[in-house]
Amino acid sequence: MYDFAYQKPGSLADAVKLLKGDPEAKALAGGMTFIPVLKQRLNKPSAVIDLAKLGLSGITASGNTITIGAMTNHVTIATNADIKAKIPGLSEMASWIGDTQVRHRGTMGGSLANNDPSACYPAAVLACDATIKTDRRSIKADDFFQGMFTTALEPDELITSIEFPVPEKSAYEKFRNPASRYAIVGVFVAKGPAGVRVAITGAGQGGVFRHKEMESALASNFSADAIANIKTPADGLNGDIHASAEYRAHLIGVMAKRAVAKAAGR
Amino acid sequence: MPQVALTVNGKQHTVEVEGRTLLVELLREKLGLTGTHVGCDTSQCGACVVHVDGRSLKSCTMLALQADGCSVTTIEGLAKPDGTLHPMQEMFREHHALQCGFCTPGMVMSAIDLVQMHPEGLTEAEIREGLEGNLCRCTGYHNIVKAVAAAWPLMHGKPAPAAAAE
Ligand SMILES: Cc1cc2nc3c(=O)[nH]c(=O)nc-3n(C[C@H](O)[C@H](O)[C@H](O)COP(=O)(O)OP(=O)(O)OC[C@H]3O[C@@H](n4cnc5c(N)ncnc54)[C@H](O)[C@@H]3O)c2cc1C
Ligand code: FES
Ligand code: FES
Torsion over CA: A3, A9, A15, A18 (sign): negative
Cβ atoms of residues B27 and B106 within 8 Å: no
Residue B1, pLDDT score: 87
Long-range pairs of A80-85 with CB within 8 A, sequence gap ≥ 24: A83/A59
Q: In this predicted model, what pLDDT tens digit does every residue of B94-128 receive, in sequence order?
A: 999 999 999 999 999 999 999 999 999 999 999 99
How does residue A89 score in pLDDT terms, banded at 50, 70 and 90?
Answer: very high
- Span B75-103, mean pLDDT? 97
| Domain edges within chain A | 5-50, 59-264
| Total residue count of chain B as it appears in this document | 166
- Span B68-88, mean pLDDT? 97
Q: With contacts defined as CB-CB under 8 Å, which chain B residues touch A100?
A: 56, 110, 113-114, 117, 130, 132-133
Strands A25-28 and A131-134: unpaired
Q: Which of A1, A2, A101 sits opposite B56 (nearest CB)?
A: A101
* Domain A59-264 is found in CATH 3.30.470.10: no
> CA A40, CA A178: separation in Å to the nearest integer?
22
- Which domains, and CATH codes, for chain B? 3-75 (3.10.20.30), 87-155 (1.10.150.120)
The yes-or-no verdict on residue A11 having pLDDT over 50 is yes
Instruction: Give the pocket of ligand 1 (CB within 6 Å).
Output: A 26-34, 51, 70, 97-98, 102, 106-107, 109-111, 113-114, 116, 119-121, 153, 158-159, 180-182; B 43-44
What CATH number should be reported for the domain whose range is A5-50?
A: 3.30.43.10
Residue nearest atom 43 in ligand 1 by C-alpha distance: A158
How much is the mean pLDDT over chain B? Answer: 96
Q: pTM for the full model? A: 0.96
Give the closest residue to B134 by CA, choosing from B49, B31, B27, B22: B49
Q: pLDDT > 70: what percent of chain B? A: 98
Whether complex ipTM tops 0.90? yes
> For residue A183, how many other CB atoms are within 10 A of its CB?
30
Residue B165, pLDDT score: 46
Cβ atoms of residues A126 and A146 within 8 Å: no
- Span B139-149, mean pLDDT? 97
| Total residue count of chain A as it appears in this document | 266
Dihedral, A179, A183, A185, A187 alpha carbons, nearest 10: 150
Give the closest residue to B2 by CA, choosing from B46, B62, B57, B67: B67
Please indicate whether residue B45, judged by its CB atom, sits closer than 6 Å to ligand 2. yes
> For residue A24, how many other CB atoms are within 10 A of its CB?
12
Give the closest residue to A265 by CA, choosing from A171, A141, A144, A183: A171
Residue B163, pLDDT score: 59
Q: What's the gap in Å between B140 CA and the centre of ligand 3?
A: 9
Q: Which stretch of DSSP H or E encloses residue B86?
A: none
How much is the mean pLDDT over chain A? Answer: 97
Amino acid at B38: V
Residue A266, pLDDT score: 93
> CA A189, CA A173: separation in Å to the nearest integer?
9
Q: In this predicted model, what pLDDT tens digit does every residue of A177-235 receive, in sequence order?
A: 988 889 999 999 999 988 999 999 999 999 999 999 999 999 999 999 999 999 999 99
The yes-or-no verdict on residue B151 having pLDDT over 60 is yes
Q: pLDDT > 70: what percent of chain A? A: 100
Name A158's Cβ contacts closer than 8 Å, sequence gap at least 6: A12, A15, A16, A19, A27, A51, A70, A109, A134, A135
The yes-or-no verdict on residue A1 having pLDDT over 80 is yes
